[in-house]
Amino acid sequence: MATTVLDHALIKHKLTIMRDKNTSTYIFKQNLDEIAKLMAYEVTRNVPIRDKVIETPVCQMVGKEIDQQIVLVPILRAGIGLVDGFRDIIPTAKIGHIGMYRDEETLIPHEYYARFPSGLENSLVIVVDPMLATGGSASMAIQNIKERGAKNILLVCLVGAPEGVALIEKEHPDVNITLAALDEKLNEHGYIVPGLGDAGDRLFGTD
């Protein structure tokens, strides 16, 4: 599979606004919604479609409709911030949730919450999280989703670090990754550089 970094002027413009430390919570969320819509458009480009016979005001015709259930799975908590934009573009998408926390001593991620719609095995499952840093939480989330039957999984993140991308590519070579930006590195605290800080805190206005 592949890692794709979207080369889009609007995404670059809006992501720059989000990166600015002086951007308010409201403007941060607004731009996150807008980038999510643009990313949703890109990652669903090749979703299976089928014929559908309809009547226009002029005549009958054969149109197209999506032929696969789409399930969005935000990684709690920051992943929730991408859901609204995706659902604006894909209103029929179902939503699952998976919560991961990282042991502060071992740095190993653990699942603390999971709830999914039925039919994962036949669905396109889009896992969303603003940041792909070490990749540990995303990798475990993907593994846990696979264990519940999912076979077709995409990972969509706003900003990624090379370390996180490398881990997902190694542990889940069958999962395509889509990023709005691939940044330089992780710092000693595990933050993406230059990044945008803690996406959850900036999204929800917490410290």
Residues 6+ apart with CB under 8 A from 196: 15, 18, 19, 130, 131, 158, 159, 202
Mark out the alpha helices in 90-187 (DSSP H runs): 136-147, 162-171
Choose, from 19, 23, 77, 198, the residue flagged as catalytic.
Answer: 198
The Cα–Cα gap between 58 and 187 comes to: 61
Any catalytic annotation for residue 115? no
Any catalytic annotation for residue 23? no
* Size of the chain, expressed as the number of residues it contains: 207
Any catalytic annotation for residue 198? yes
Strands 3-5 and 60-66: unpaired
Choose, from 103, 201, 206, 207, the residue flagged as catalytic.
Answer: 201
Any catalytic annotation for residue 106? yes
Choose, from 102, 134, 178, 206, the residue flagged as catalytic.
Answer: 102
Choose, from 51, 103, 106, 207, the residue flagged as catalytic.
Answer: 106
Catalytic residues: 102, 106, 198, 201
